[in-house]
Structure 1
Amino acid sequence: MQTNRIFGLDVLRAIAILLVVVSHCTYIFYETTESPIIMAIRSLGAFGVDLFFVLSGYLIGGILLKHIDQNRTNFNDLFRFWKRRWLRTLPNYYLILIINIGLLILFSQKLPDSIFLYIPFLQNFSQPHSDFFNEAWSLSIEEYSYLILPLILFCALQWVRRHHSKIIVFLIVTLVLIGIQYLIKARFYSNAEVHSYQDWSSMFRKVVVYRLDAVYYGFILIYVARMYPYFIRKYDKLFLITALLLFTSTHLYIAFFSVLPQTHLGFYVFAYLPILALCCALVFPAFLKLKKQGWFGSLIYFLSTRSYAMYLVNYSIVLLSLQKLISFEAMPIYIKLGILVLFLILTLSLSNVLYRYFELPILKFRDKTYSKSNITS
């Protein structure tokens, strides 16, 4: 399964999952805290999810552009695209959903009223996500982003014959949908009452109708990389430095001026998440130049290929189960360190089993049944 893998993208995927897992490690030491350092680490976990969004958009946008290159833009091609995506994402999701339901029953807890909405990914379509299977909020955003833009794009392409015009249509459809997202966000800004970061996160950041653009920024990135490759390669270091400065200055601004969702909602609705997406996009050119080397390359490959499984199991399956079995709060630090090691071992072990014996066979079946894109997805 290493064929056609792009090492730099594997590095970004590994960084994203490490940010998520490390942010969850903090809950072993502090279930609730006001510590700026701990809150910053948890914010990096949220940034890891945004990196996943941009990465997904970059890869899926690349696949759609390849469809355009090969003139595979009829609805049979669209259905084939969807089938490949569904075989990539849905089996793991539904398996972990069933396991989460089983764990809830095992621990004698009540199933959420929205449980059946998890099947069509509607649990957070226009309302806050429940605490059950919390990772699923981002998967809903990705699934609907794969449905909506490609459907509109393929409909639009039925009226276009010239190849160059089709690529322009790809850009126009992406920009129009991002623009519509801002109109929807404006409605949220006008009507929402937000009293904390948690309110903003649950009511806005984790809701599908407000976050589809998180993936579509990756479509813009692949378009620019495709149309202006020399420019992207020439200034890759400048883009990387700009990303680091923009990310740092944005968070210094937030820290020094106490910019909170309850006091500066407009910034968090219209600017903050797009800034993070831009930071993600700007680092891509530098990472695309990386080459796989030795044991580091093998480690990156391991983390990257297991990243989806790790994302699904580390919090709801491993961490929450440990919290139900063990009370962390009053334990001495050396015991918590032992629990941290156990958490990491269980996360890596379970994700490896899930990947090797469930995810990988399904991916092989997918690639055997449906023609394979040249871009790893």
Structure 2
Amino acid sequence: MTLTKLLKFTKKRVFGLDVIRAIAILLVLCSHSTLLIAPNSSSSIVFAIKFFGTIGVDVFFVLSGFLIGAIILKQIELEQTTFKNIFHFWVRRWFRTLPNYYLILIINIGLVYFLFKSTNINFLNYFLFLQNFKTAQPDFFTESWSLSIEEFAYVFMPALLLLFVVLKRKITAKLFLQLSLVCILIITLNRIYFDLNLSETTAEWSASLRKVVIFRLDSIYYGFIAAYIFKYMPSNWEKYRYMSAFAGGLLFLLMHFYIFYTGIKPNIEYTFFNVFYLPLLSLSILLLFPVLYQIKINGFLNTIITKISLWSYSLYLVNYSIVLLTMQYFIKIDDLSLITNVFCLLVFWIISFILAFLLYIFYEIPFTKLRDSKFIRKRFE
């Protein structure tokens, strides 16, 4: 069975995963909404809502790792681990992710030149996903940081598997799990090293650590571990799903209760956020998966959630740099009344969803379908 046929066979949507994806993008949108409704607020409620964005992106990371990990494991099971097989996997991923990314990148470059006339940003880094590889990325197309992490995660692990092929080692699911765990350990040690060598120039947690590739690849690999458990330990996945959800929910609530009750922030309590928060967040999300995976909802709400899930990638790309920042450029949010701010917020959501729908229907779908074109199939079958 080729990778194309395999993916067609497993194409049926899992509603529980749509729920997870919809939750993730809505958390991101809520976070960005604070920049319109309460841009200068220092209240704990606004801070909590802003934090939704952090949580939402990590939900995306774990979910993406879970889905892609399952595909890689299936390829291993079918012994499709040659360079040709892996390259086919990469091509399919690139047809899914790169067209949208490059289109929005080019639009952002156009907006920068149109609105600000000039810039000293190295755009080539963005085309190569190097804008945040080991340092904070420039204040341009800022939401692209998470896409760099995902791209490197999906290139690095299959490349490791190819290395073992070259070394004449048999590629097994157990090896995949071991490599995932080793990568998580290495990235964790890297964050500890960052924390121990913290200086005033690297003190900005979100830009200098949370959004940097070499510190965040493990977020994807937690999803790989979930995929392994789902595929090779299905009885435990099913049997302990409620216990797992309880543990994940409790960890999530206790961790955030500690943050908001004590009032600690990343620029105050460095070690907690640098070393512990991000892996614990990934783990708490991961533990919720067995229950969320089985969610069933019928009727209109089912349709709405599925649509939001389908549009989520396009929504993520257009809502901030294309819609929100453009609105902020032409509208002085600080000078508006609360009612006008609420109106601007409504406009932000409506335009974001309309653009995401158009991008998904007329651009994302056609490019995604090219993965199964005769031209591509002939080269990998």
TM-score (norm 1): 0.93
- Determine if the alignment matches structure 1 residue 136 to structure 2 residue 136: no
Q: What is the root-mean-square deviation in Å for CA atoms of aligned residues?
A: 1.9
Whether 1:121 and 2:124 are equivalent positions in the alignment is no
Give the corresponding residue for 2:169: 160
Task: Provide the secondary structure at the position in 2 that maps to 1:107.
Answer: helix
d(CA) in 2 for partners of 1:109, 1:8: 45
Partner of 1:247: 252
Q: Note closer, same or farther for the CA distance 1:169–1:3 as it changes in structure 2 (3 Å cut).
A: closer
The answer for the alignment partner of 1:79 in structure 2 is 87
Residue 142 of structure 1, CA deviation: 0.6
Task: Determine the structure 2 residue equivalent to 1:223.
Answer: 228
Q: Who is 1:110 aligned against?
A: 118
Q: What's the counterpart of residue 23 of structure 2? A: 15
Q: Residue 178 of structure 1 aligns with which residue?
A: 184
Q: Which moved more, 1:139-148 or 1:329-338?
A: 329-338
Tell me which residue corresponds to 1:374.
Answer: none
8 A contact 1:54–1:277 mirrored in 2:
yes
Deviation at 1:33, TM superposition (A): 2.5
1: CA distance, partners of 2:311 / 2:110: 23
Contact 2:135/2:208 (<8 A) preserved:
yes
Answer yes or no: is 1:331 the counterpart of 2:336: yes
Residues 279-298 of structure 1 aligned to structure 2 (within 5 Å): 279-298=284-303
Displacement of 1:362 in angstroms is 0.7
Q: How does 1:250-261 map to 2 (within 5 A)?
A: 250-261=255-266
Please tell me whether the aligned partners of residues 157 and 169 of structure 1 are also in contact (alpha carbons under 8 angstroms). no
Q: Which residue of 2 aligns with 1:362?
A: 367
Question: What CA distance in whole angstroms lies between the structure 2 residues aligned with 1:109 and 1:157?
Answer: 50
Report the alpha carbon displacement of residue 263 of structure 1 after superposing the two structures with TM: 4.1
Give distance in 2, aligned partners of 1:112 and 1:249: 44
Aligned to 1:150: 158
Note the alpha carbon deviations across 1:269-301, whole angstroms, 9 max, x for none: 221000100111011101111235221111111
Give the Cα separation in 2 of the matches to 1:202 and 1:144: 18
Residue identity opposite 2:45 in structure 1: I
Shift of 1:9: 0.5
Change in Cα spacing, 1:167 to 1:94, as seen in structure 2 (3 Å) is: same
Whether the aligned pair in 2 keeps the contact of 1:309 and 1:354 (CA below 8 Å) is yes
Asked whether the equivalents of residues 196 and 262 of structure 1 are also in contact (C-alpha less than 8 Å), the reply is no
Aligned length in residues? 367
Tell me the residue number matched to 2:273. Answer: 268
Unmatched segments (≥5 aa) in structure 1: 372-377
- Per mean C-alpha deviation after superposition, the further-off stretch among 72-81 and 286-295 is 286-295
**1:189/1:168 Cα in 2 relative to 1: closer, same or farther (>3 Å)?**
same
Consecutive unaligned residues in structure 2, runs of 5 or more:
1-7
SS of residue matched to 1:91: helix
C-alpha change, 1:19 and 1:262, in structure 2 (3 Å) is closer
CA distance in 2, matches of 1:194, 1:62: 41
Residues in 2 aligned to 1:341 and 1:183: alpha-carbon distance in whole angstroms: 43
Alignment equivalent of 2:311, drawn from 286, 290, 306: 306
Instruction: Tell me the CA shift for residue 217 of structure 1.
Output: 0.6
* Equivalent residue letter for 1:300: I
Choose from 91, 95, 100 the match for 1:92. Answer: 100
Paired AA for residue 57 in structure 2: V
Q: Tell me by how many angstroms 1:261 deviates.
A: 3.2
- The answer on whether the counterparts of 2:81 and 2:161 sit within 8 Å (CA) in structure 1 is no
